[in-house]
Chains A and B, each alone.
Chain A
Amino acid sequence: MRDTTNDRADSSSSDARRPPASHPWDAVEHPPVNPKTSAAIMVAFALLAVTVVIFGGNLLNPKASTTDGDYAGETIELLIPLAEGGGTDTWARFVGTELTREIPGKPGFSPVNEAGGEGISGTNRFAASAPADGTEILVSTASTVMPWVLGRSAVEYNFNRLTPILATGTGGVIYARAEAGVRKPEDLLNRDAPLKFGGISATGLDLTTLVAFDLLGVDVDAIFGFEGRGPVNLALQRGEVDLDYQTTSAYAPAVEPLVRAGTAVPLMSFGQVDDKGDVVRDPNFPDIPNVAEVYQSLYGQAPRGETFEAYKKLLALTYTYQKAMWVPGDTPRQAVELLRASAEKLSQSPQFNQEVAKVLGGYPLLADQQLAARISTAYTVDAPVREYIVNLLESDYQVKLE
């Protein structure tokens, strides 16, 4: 290869060095191909290309549609706006597979990941272009709902224009490093120095915790930028942060050993929002008081006011109904009802509930008839609540929303 320097500059001199006749196996034609042959080949391929464009898409992926609610021969396409392998993806594929088996007509199941923009891109696309024929379902989770709540400019979807089919919740517990001098909720107040809280991003799931801290009047120094709750848990074990929270599925493996060893202390659970909109104890943490109860024990009265309303709203959105599946609002009613009823049947199956305890962390699949109404209430965010959240982010955490 080193002796080719001279060849490059002058192609005609290299002509003289080429073998005169080309061997049958030689891929390259030394004199250029006959222009007529080239043109003929190109026209043939162009025709093929046109054929592919016209028929190709439909041939390999027939478009599904079910306006009459009959799913025989159709494929349910589940849009997961996040990357494969995460908690939401695992949940979506699991529930989606089981749900599709319940739907009469034995439809196929096709989960599609469309990650991007923390889930905003895929959800945008679904809201803009998903056909309302009952075969396209959107997966939502706290990280796609939060930007909508906060009114971020990148969001082009509106959950009030989608119809929910099913939802699942989760819970969480805020705990502290014992060595930081926090052994009970009372120790959170009146400290000399703020406690360090490890977070991922102020505009994600952490926001609910931040509002809880604001409600309780805890002086917190929030350090964002951790890559996940796992690293924050590690940082707490190293003594780098003092406060952390973990969701239910991670609590047992990540926090309980620490509690047993005495290095960590569970302070409160987030709780759950019941049908009446009140904050009640999380059934998976029956012995841990929820945020409202802790407030009561600290201040002698039940929590009230704008901050508490914001907390309840966030609790419902990001915990009680953390993950949900939706169809476009103008999907035919029979299709919606069939999907929801299948989901409800699934939620009542004892075998499903057994298997799913591991994946759903012990929270029921919600698909009853009143689900749509409850979700509609939960997903209606008043202006004062939104304003409070935006102000909190700006004043306490220097986060300007775009």
Chain B
Amino acid sequence: MVESAVAALQALFAPEQLILLLIGIVAGLIIGLIPGLGGTGAVAILLPVTFGMDPEQALALLIGALAVVHTSDTVAAVLLGAPGSASASVTMLDGYAMAKQGQAARALSLAFLSSMAGGILGAIGLTLAIPLARPLVLSFGSPELFMLTVLGVSLAAVLSRGNVAKGLTAGFLGLLLGMVGTSPTTAESRFTFGSLFLADGLSLVAVALGIFGLAEIASRVGQVDKPGAVVELAGGWLSGIKEWLGYWGQVLRGALIGIWAGVLPGVGATAGTWLAYGQAVATAKDKRTFGKGDPRGIVGPESANNSVEAGDLIPTLLFGIPGGVPAAMLLGMLLTYGIQPGPAIISDHLDLMYLIVWSFAIASVLGAMFCFAGTRGLASITKVPFAILGPGLVVVMLLGAFQEGGQLGDLWVMLALGVFGWLLKETGFPRAPFLIGFVLAIPMERYYFLTANVYSGLSWMLRPWVLVFLAVLVVPAIVTGTRRGRARLRPTPEDPHAEPPPEDQHEGELVGSVWSRGLSAAMLLVFVAGFLAAGSFSPEARLVPRLVCAGGAIVAALLVFTELRTWRRTAEPGVTWTRDVGVALKTFVWMVAFLGLTTLFGYVAALLLFVPAFLLYVARAKPRIVIVYGLALAIVIAALPSLIPIGLPIGLVNTT
């Protein structure tokens, strides 16, 4: 075994292999930087390049890219609040908060180091897990997977500290939205209003980028006259590394959770990263700083983010069950070389296995190093006024999201969720529970029914792992409950700090206003409508939607009640309009106009009108900048399809 490992490493250092690995790393880093593309984009772009190569070279290229995509997708998440992929939205919670406090470089350093560690640990885990994978995967059936999804969803409650009602409502809403599409067990279309487009379900990239990315752009564009946040480059490399080393325990735990989440077929990268975050929160004594720039919210999830990609390779290679689209494409590529997935792959292609492991490890290290070296440069993006960055970001993000399905409808969904995300943000609803609900809705339903149909009665609840997860779910709740009970009996000087520290003052402007009341009422209506609409589904297909709508309606009703009570009590009308609200709404109107132009005339033509107009009339940029910026962006976007397999939305005018 050791000889094969060493032999594989030597083979990797052959010049052609190494160059391909480097190209893969650089390509992966760049693709990861662009919100929306992610691992799928990376493999889709690089796969055609591998036709005609030997399997070793193709693997070096692809694994090099896959290993680092999650390292660079943190950049946009931390600096701009636009998660590069859905799993980057986890790091974004604390990373972006830290950046807004002026510590972008610190956030990025922590993230990159953790990514590197996660990648290395993932590669080690990959080697060790191979003999263990089979029994592990076989002992994890539908009941265990169901419990995992329940654990993930319960994170929604954990993440809504400070406003449980709002967090739960957002979570239920996310669950409901996740059910739009086809029922996993009966293949019926639900909540699709007859549309074939909706029958596929909403695109995760569109939802994540819309609710976080576009919402963020709209709210930050209003800060035209302010300089960007001061970037603190305190201390330099050494202090960054020293601080990071202090969190090695978190990194290790994050990596382990990531590998394990990747190994289990059915738990995706997003869910794995959320689980790592949840674990960090759950095991922390002082939870109040999570979501406000706590380093523990960065190091664990980032590490998991990378190791999950490594873990994902196990079901792909050993069972032929790809963990996601990039893995599916990898599998397809291997098949064309005659490499069959299955247990035999270890014995027949041990050299390739080790090549993959080494490529992963080296790519993680190099990728993190490149990113680390670029931290200062990257962090200086925050110096550019956001109104200038805004239109370019919108163009790039929409293009990235478009790549997933090539459907213009996805972009409209993204925009709609952008407006919704902004509303949530301004009225004080946490958005993370929404995304968790959205991601886990269908898996939770699927595993529930598989469990219920395969196992009779509740015997499955006595399985060992199910009991473990139940304990993980229930015990912390009991502990916190008794702790609070005891604290109430014996008030301690800590009481004034029982409330979490104030949020970033910019958020939640519209809390307690008519917007907030209106939104809560609207949510209640949606749940009631959903409950009624579910009546037309078959019994099996309507069970979970109805449960979700019922739960959501209860919490939403509670919310409306609380809002009305506060309103009556304080007798304040609350804020109805501020300048920033106006700017945000105006920005959305501009985005709608851009999408409308795209639908009619195509992407390049639309951006040639949108970008200069926005820069001139909203950002009040100088003419020179407008011209250069507009032309450069248009040329790059127009030329892109000829260089890489990327599709541009085509306007109605051009489709005859």
Which residues in A have some Cβ–Cβ distance to B below 8 Å? 1-2, 4-5, 7-9, 11, 14, 18, 22, 26-30, 32-33, 37-38, 41-42, 45-46, 48-50, 52-53, 56-57, 60-61, 83-87, 89-90, 94, 97, 113-117, 120-121, 124, 129, 154, 196, 201-204, 221, 223-228, 230-231, 233-235, 237-238, 240-241, 249-250, 252-254, 257, 358-359, 398-400, 402
State whether B406 touches A223 (Cβ < 8 A).
Answer: no
B650's partner among A22, A32, A57 (CB-CB below 8 A) is: A57
Chain A residues with CB below 8 A from B608, complex form: 45-46, 48-49, 52
Judge whether B605 and A253 touch: CB under 8 Å: no
Classify the interface of chain B: helix, strand, loop or mixed: helix
Asked if residues B623 and A28 are in contact (CB atoms below 8 Å), the reply is no
Report the bound CA distance from A120 to B623 in whole Å.
48
Query: Within 8 Å CB of B655, what residues of A?
Result: 129
Provide the residues of chain A in CB contact with B381, threshold 8 Å. Answer: none
Please state if B196 and A196 are interface contacts (CB–CB under 8 Å).
no
* Contact of A42 with B185 at beta-carbon distance under 8 Å, contacts A27-B622, A154-B196 already known: no
Find the B residue at minimum CB distance from A83. Answer: B325
23 A/B residue pairs, CB under 8 Å, sorted by A: A1-B504, A2-B504, A8-B580, A29-B622, A38-B623, A42-B609, A52-B634, A85-B325, A85-B326, A124-B196, A204-B187, A223-B454, A225-B185, A227-B265, A230-B320, A231-B265, A234-B138, A234-B265, A234-B321, A238-B141, A240-B141, A240-B450, A400-B188
Does B477 have its Cβ within 8 Å of any Cβ on chain A?
no
A224/B186 contact (C-beta < 8 A), A116-B407, A120-B196, A359-B336 known: yes
Closest A residue by C-beta to B142: A240
B370 within 8 A of A: no
Of B197, B449, B602, B621, which one neighbours A121 at CB under 8 angstroms? B197
Give the residue of B405, B506, B604, B616 whose beta carbon is less than 8 angstroms from that of A52: B604
Kindly specify which of B207-215, B220-228, B241-249, B356-364 makes contact with the partner chain. B220-228
10 more CB-based (< 8 A) A-B contacts, given A4-B223, A9-B579, A224-B185: A2-B505, A18-B225, A28-B619, A33-B616, A89-B332, A115-B405, A116-B196, A116-B405, A117-B200, A253-B342
Contact of A1 among B100, B335, B650 (CB under 8 A): B100
Q: Which residues of chain B have C-beta atoms less than 8 A from A115's C-beta?
A: 200, 405-406
Chain A residues whose CB sits within 8 angstroms of the CB of B406 once the complex forms? 113-115
- Please give the distance in Å from B232's CB to the nearest CB on chain A: 13
Within the assembled complex, what's the spacing in Å between the Cα atoms of A56 and B605? 9
Q: Is the CB of B623 within 8 A of A41?
A: yes
Q: A2-B505, A8-B579, A28-B622 are in contact. Are A253 and B642 (CB under 8 A)?
A: no
Cβ contacts under 8 Å, A359 to chain B: 335-336
- State A234–B342 Cα separation when bound (angstroms): 12
Which chain A residue has the least Cβ–Cβ distance from B321?
A230
B654 engages A53 (CB within 8 Å): yes
Kindly state whether residue B352 has any CB partner on chain A within 8 Å.
Answer: no
Q: A41-B623, A225-B184 are in contact. Are A235 and B407 (CB under 8 A)?
A: no
Our pick among B265, B343, B623 for the contact of A257 (Cβ within 8 Å) is B343
- Cβ contact within 8 Å between B620 and A28: yes
B638 & A28 in contact (Cβ 8 Å cutoff):
no
Most B-side CB within 10 Å, residue of A29, A61, A204: A29
Knowing A37-B623, A41-B612, A53-B605, the reply to whether A28 touches B225 (Cβ < 8 A) is yes
Interface string of B31-62 (1 = CB under 8 A from A): 00000000000011001000100000000000
Residues of A within 8 A of B300 (CB): none
Which residues of chain A are near B653, meaning CB under 8 Å?
53
Rounded to whole angstroms, the CA-CA distance of A50 and B138 in the bound complex is 60
Knowing A28-B387, A89-B332, A252-B340, the reply to whether A60 touches B642 (Cβ < 8 A) is: yes
CB contacts (< 8 Å) of A27 on chain B: these are: 384-385, 388, 621-622, 625
Q: A163 to nearest B CB, angstroms?
A: 23
Q: Do A45 and B51 contact each other (CB < 8 Å), given the known contacts A27-B384, A234-B137? A: no
